[in-house]
Amino acid sequence: MMLKTHAIETSVLGKEYTTMAAPTISPSRRRSAGNKFIALVLWGLSCYATYQFFVSLAGTGPAAFFIAIITQATLSFGESPLWRGDISGAGVIALAFDTFTNIGGTFYYIGNLEKTASWQAFTTTFHASSQVSGYTQLFIAIVVGMMLAAAPEALWKQQ
């Protein structure tokens, strides 16, 4: 990361001094660093969702965690050409499996949506059922799963 510094001319008791100002980071660099941080957080959430998917298959433990991290890294690598515009069968399969594992990791939590104040506000305002139907739960899980699969790379590449 390139930092810019500026010289400042100062005068103290009649003597001239040149001092260096604190380095500044351009707004685009600051935004890029923020995007990369958010991308890492989202990638971590995707790892957690993948971990929850494997926990539901094989139970808890360090092995499930290790498998989830390796799987998520492999899927991210496999999806990478898609985000550069190179649509391939392997990339589409990686994205589909990544979304699928994220759905498996988030579905349970989305089932608790009806307990949140946000959902209650929605149902009160629109006179909707307070129960989250299975279709609604699945739809939200698919959207969240796809976002967790796609957003980290998109944010990482933004300038």
pTM metric for this prediction = 0.74
Please give the Cα distance from 155 to 32 (Å, whole number). 8
Q: What pLDDT score does 5 carry?
A: 53
Domain count across the chain: 1
- Is the residue at 4 inside a domain? no
| Encoded tokens for 59 | 């139970």
Quote helix, strand, coil % in the chain, to nearest 5. 70, 10, 20
- Is the residue at 72 inside a domain? yes
Q: What pLDDT digit, counting tens, does each position of 56-108 carry?
A: 998 888 999 999 999 999 999 999 898 888 999 999 999 999 999 999 999 98
Q: Are 53 and 124 in contact (CB under 8 A)?
A: no
What is the C-alpha radius of gyration for the chain, rounded to an integer number of angstroms?
A: 23
Residue 140 has pLDDT above 90, yes or no: yes
- Is the residue at 85 inside a domain? yes
Residue 3 has pLDDT above 70, yes or no: no
pLDDT band for 154, please (50, 70, 90 cuts).
confident
For residue 72, give its domain range.
27-157
Q: What pLDDT digit, counting tens, does each position of 18-66 carry?
A: 665 556 666 666 668 889 999 999 999 999 999 999 999 988 889 999 9
Q: Are 10 and 19 in contact (CB under 8 A)?
A: yes
- Is the residue at 8 inside a domain? no
Residue 6 has pLDDT above 60, yes or no: no
